[in-house]
Amino acid sequence: MNANANEPAKATTDRVRILETQVLSDDWYLLKKTTFDFLRRDNVWQRLSRETYDRGNGATVLLHDRRRDTVVLTRQFRFPAFVNGHDGMLIEAPGGLLDNASPEERIRTEVEEETGYHVQHVKKVFEAFMSPGSVTEKLFFFVADYESASKVGPGGGVESEGEDIEVIELPLDDALAMIREGNIVDGKTIMLLQYAALRRLAKSADCEA
C-alpha cells in the first residue's frame, strides 16, 4: 500500500541508496556489511546497515517413485546444525549449490553424485528464499520420478570435499510421520515432502470428483 494514495508506487530500486559495502569475510563464501538509506513507506529516508551471507544459489529435488510411493533422502553431518544444539545428522532432500550452472543442469548432476540415482527429467515446482533476512541464496525446488532401475552408482557425495552422505529410501508416509515426530527438521525437505503430500491429496480429490 502506498503512503500517499495519489502518488504512484515507487520501484524498490528507487527506495534504496547504497552508501558503503564492506567485505567482512571472503573465505569459503562471502560475508558483507552494507550501509544504505531506505525510503520508508512514510517517505522518510532511514539509514540502515545489514550483513549478507552470499553463497550463490542452490537447488534441491524430491525423488519420488509413484508406483511404490517411496522417496529418496540423504543423511549427513551438518556442522551449523550441530553448533545450534542438534546432534548434527540431518535427513535432507538431495541438493547443492549451483556453481554458476543452470538449476536444472546442476540438480541432475548433484542428485546422482549424492544418491546414485540418474534422473532424466526434473520438474521445477517453486523457488524460495530460505533465510531472506541474512542469506542471499535462492533455492530452486524440483521433483523427479525415479525407480529402482534408475540407480547407477552408490552415491555418497565427494569424499575429498568432506561429504559422507548416506542414502535412505522410505515410504512417503514414513517421511511425513518423521516431520511430525521432529526427526526431519530441514526446511527444504519439509517443503518438498509436504508438496508431495498435497499433490497426492489433489489427485485423490480428482478421483472422487
Ligand X SMILES: Nc1nc2c(ncn2[C@@H]2O[C@H](COP(=O)(O)OP(=O)(O)O[C@H]3O[C@H](CO)[C@@H](O)[C@H](O)[C@@H]3O)[C@@H](O)[C@H]2O)c(=O)[nH]1
Binding site, by residue number, is 110, 114, 163
Nearer to ligand X, 115 or 150 (CB): 115
Minimum distance, C-beta of residue 91 to ligand X, in the bound complex (Å): 13
| Beta strand segments in 130-165, E | 138-145
Taking every pair of Cα atoms in the chain, the longest distance, rounded to a whole number of angstroms, is 63
The one of ligand X, Mg ion, none whose footprint includes residue 15, by CB under 5 to 8 A per kind, is none
- Comparing CB distances to Mg ion, the nearer of 88 and 96 is 96
State the residue number with the nearest CB to Mg ion: 96
Angle between helices 187-208 and 172-180 (to 10 degrees): 120
Cβ proximity to ligand X: between 60 and 115 the closer is 60
CB of 199 to ligand X, least distance (A): 20
Grid coordinates given for 124: 521445477
Please give the residue ranges that form the binding site for ligand X (CB under 6 A).
28, 55, 58, 60, 95-97, 137, 139, 161-163, 188
Residue with cell 568432506: 162
Q: What residue has cell string 535432507? A: 92
Residue 96 engages Mg ion in binding (rule: CB under 5 A): yes
Separation between Cα atoms, residue 70 and residue 63, nearest integer Å: 8
